[in-house]
Amino acid sequence: MIQSPLLDPIAGYIAGQWVDADSAARVDVTNPATGEVLASVPAMGAEETGRAIAAAQAALATIPDIETRRQWLQQANDALLANKKEIGRILCMEHGKPWPEAQGEVEYAASFFDYYARTMVDILAPEHLPGEFKGCTWSVHKRPIGVVGLITPWNFPIAMIAKKLAPALAAGCPSVIKPAKDTPLTMVALFRILHDHLQLPAGMVNLVMGNAGKIGGALMGSPTVRMVSFTGSTEVGQLLLEQSRADVKKLGLELGGNAPFIVCDDADIDGAIDGLMANKFRGAGQTCVCANRVYVHTAVYDEFAQKLFERVNALKVGNGMDEGVDIGPLINAAGFEKVREHVADALARGAHLKAGPRPDELDAARSLLYPPSVLTEVTHDMRCCQEETFGPLVPLIRFDDDAKVIEQANDTSFGLAAYLYTQDEQRAAWFMERLHFGHCGYNTGMGPAAHTPFGGMLTSGLGREGGHEGLLEYVELQTIPQGISRAS
């Protein structure tokens, strides 16, 4: 069991009150590294969600001025940083990622509150257009979109909510928040912090957890909820799109990826390996921006592969709470099985396993630790190139022609992230113009940051998070033409 002052109580939160499920039912949360039950959380559903929506609607009448909201963000940033160690500890235990990554995630989450605290007054300022047009002066105002539903995944239990909640609070949107079933404790801890440090009006933030379909259905079925921001699978994103139809609800969707990572023959090979290691193995490869398929020019393929095996073989796999661990467990048996199947499929079709265990040596029931693996002589048609593996697997594909590799990189319905290593700026510009991905790392494996917009093209999503664009998602534009009085 986990004990923490930030998990007291372990409950939902509606209209400023800690609440249990109506049925009093609870579900267990386990530590994926050990299988230990950490705690149980309320198993809520449509009824509780309906009350949370009503509380959020009531809060709409109590939204304070922009300076008060700016102070909330500042206080959230300060409180997150002050409680970094404890939030990171809870995150580490329920997600399994290494301790330094969990601590880093709390800082990253805080950076969204900090960024919007510093910029929201400018971003939300009304625009007064110069001059007259059609006998009027014109201004454009940013109004909160209304009650929002925020649905988050398990892979970044604190960062993903920060990307949504910071702009929602900045814009003045009350929210109903649903965490993923594998990682609800970090969200409870966040609510403890909001409750203790922010003095939000009752109903400004609400927490429901439990049956995803029922909670999601209640959010999507309510005409009061004007927007739902969701990060998760493309399948659920598509369902939300269908459910948004009746009320013409706005959606922010951050969905799956299938990121290509391209290493040209003129690349700085050591730099590319550093970039790939940091990008690929964060969160045990369970991130939507991590390299899913690595295309290496045939002139440097063997050198790259050799250096990569050495680095991968030195990684330490284990419980994220233990010192020196680089890679924690996968989140659950289904995630583990997917990686195993992708390796098995590639081997059956002629790829070579250069690092990592053979799939038949592994058993999710024994341990969710999946040692980092490298496959060579992978071809584009294998499952590990066609689907998002979401685990610590690097498939290396050879290429010798830029036009062909662009074709393969773009041969996916996803468009979230891509990476390119070359020392030739013109070659890079040629690639970037053609890659249909919202985030394109150039000589870096760096993921998104609070001050820039992040989001996917094609089936990877709708809208952007971060940057001023990420705040504008939560406002409606209101245009006011003002008649010019000719009376005097």
Q: Does 178 bind ligand ADP (CB under 6 A)?
A: yes
Region near ligand ADP per CB under 6 A, out of 137-145, 164-172, 211-219, 290-298? 211-219
Token reading at 32 = 């994926």
Hey, what's the torsion of the CAs at 97, 102, 104, 106, to 10 degrees? Answer: 140
* Helices 159-171 and 66-82: angle between axes, nearest 10 degrees: 160
The pair phi, psi for residue 245, each rounded to 5°, is -65, -50
Beta-strand ranges (E) seen in 154-277 are 175-178, 205-207, 225-231, 250-254, 259-263
Nearer to ligand ADP, 164 or 293 (CB): 164
Measured CA to CA, the distance from residue 140 to residue 480 in angstroms comes to 6
Give the shortest CB-214-to-ligand ADP separation in angstroms: 9
Beta-strand ranges (E) seen in 21-104 are 26-30, 37-42
Q: Restricting to residues 436-475, which ones interact with ligand ADP according to CB under 6 A?
A: none
Q: Does 181 bind ligand ADP (CB under 6 A)?
A: yes
Nearer to ligand ADP, 154 or 419 (CB): 154
Measured CA to CA, the distance from residue 42 to residue 188 in angstroms comes to 11
Which of 288, 290, 384, 385 is labelled catalytic?
A: 288
Region near ligand ADP per CB under 6 A, out of 139-147, 156-164, 208-216, 380-388? 208-216
Catalytic status, residue 254: yes
Token reading at 311 = 């680095």
Q: Does 160 bind ligand ADP (CB under 6 A)?
A: no
Residues 227-246 vs ligand ADP: string with x where CB under 6 A? -----xx--x--x-------
Q: Which residues have C-beta within 8 Å of that of residue 356, sequence separation ≥ 6?
A: 312, 343, 371, 372, 373, 374, 392, 393
Beta-strand ranges (E) seen in 173-224 are 175-178, 205-207
Give the shortest CB-152-to-ligand ADP separation in angstroms: 6
Q: Does 117 bind ligand ADP (CB under 6 A)?
A: no
Q: Does 152 bind ligand ADP (CB under 6 A)?
A: yes
Region near ligand ADP per CB under 6 A, out of 68-76, 152-160, 321-329, 437-445? 152-160
Give the shortest CB-153-to-ligand ADP separation in angstroms: 4
Give the shortest CB-476-to-ligand ADP separation in angstroms: 23
Give the shortest CB-220-to-ligand ADP separation in angstroms: 7
Residues 282-321 vs ligand ADP: string with x where CB under 6 A? ----------------------------------------
C-alpha triplet 317, 323, 327: angle, nearest 5°: 25
Give the shortest CB-376-to-ligand ADP separation in angstroms: 28
Nearer to ligand ADP, 237 or 359 (CB): 237
Do 411 and 388 contact (CB within 8 A), yes or no? no
Q: Which residues pair with 210 in a beta bridge?
A: 44
Nearer to ligand ADP, 216 or 467 (CB): 216
> For the chain, how big is the Rg over CA atoms in Å?
24
Catalytic status, residue 385: no
Measured CA to CA, the distance from residue 322 to residue 100 in angstroms comes to 10
Give the shortest CB-216-to-ligand ADP separation in angstroms: 2
Q: Does 368 bind ligand ADP (CB under 6 A)?
A: no
Give the shortest CB-187-to-ligand ADP separation in angstroms: 10
Region near ligand ADP per CB under 6 A, out of 159-167, 173-181, 347-355, 442-450? 173-181
Region near ligand ADP per CB under 6 A, out of 105-113, 147-155, 197-205, 437-445? 147-155
Q: Restricting to residues 5-64, which ones interact with ligand ADP according to CB under 6 A?
A: none
Q: Does 213 bind ligand ADP (CB under 6 A)?
A: yes
Q: DSSP per residue over 339-350, as a string?
A: HHHHHHHHHHTT
The pair phi, psi for residue 203, each rounded to 5°, is 90, -5
Q: Does 385 bind ligand ADP (CB under 6 A)?
A: no
Q: Does 344 bind ligand ADP (CB under 6 A)?
A: no
Helix, strand or coil, per DSSP, at residue 262: strand
Q: Does 212 bind ligand ADP (CB under 6 A)?
A: yes
Give the shortest CB-94-to-ligand ADP separation in angstroms: 14
Token pair 């993923």 is found at 180
Nearer to ligand ADP, 149 or 356 (CB): 149
Binding residue for ligand ADP (CB under 6 A) from 46, 148, 171, 180?
180
Which of 48, 94, 101, 254 is labelled catalytic?
A: 254
Token reading at 246 = 């009746």
Give the shortest CB-286-to-ligand ADP separation in angstroms: 9
Nearer to ligand ADP, 152 or 408 (CB): 152
Nearer to ligand ADP, 134 or 245 (CB): 245
Q: Distance from first CA to last CA of the chain, Å, rounded?
A: 76
Give Cα separations from 25 to 1, 213, 287 (angstroms): 18, 17, 31
Output DSSP code: residue 188.
H
Measured CA to CA, the distance from residue 360 to residue 379 in angstroms comes to 22
Order across the sheet with 291-297: list the strands.
Answer: 352-355, 373-376, 393-399, 291-297, 259-263, 417-421, 439-442
Give Cα separations from 289 to 65, 99, 280, 309, 320 (angstroms): 36, 21, 9, 22, 21
Q: Which sequence positions are flagged as catalytic?
A: 254, 288
Question: Contact residues for ligand ADP (CB under 6 A)?
Answer: 151-154, 178, 180-181, 212-213, 216, 232-233, 236, 239
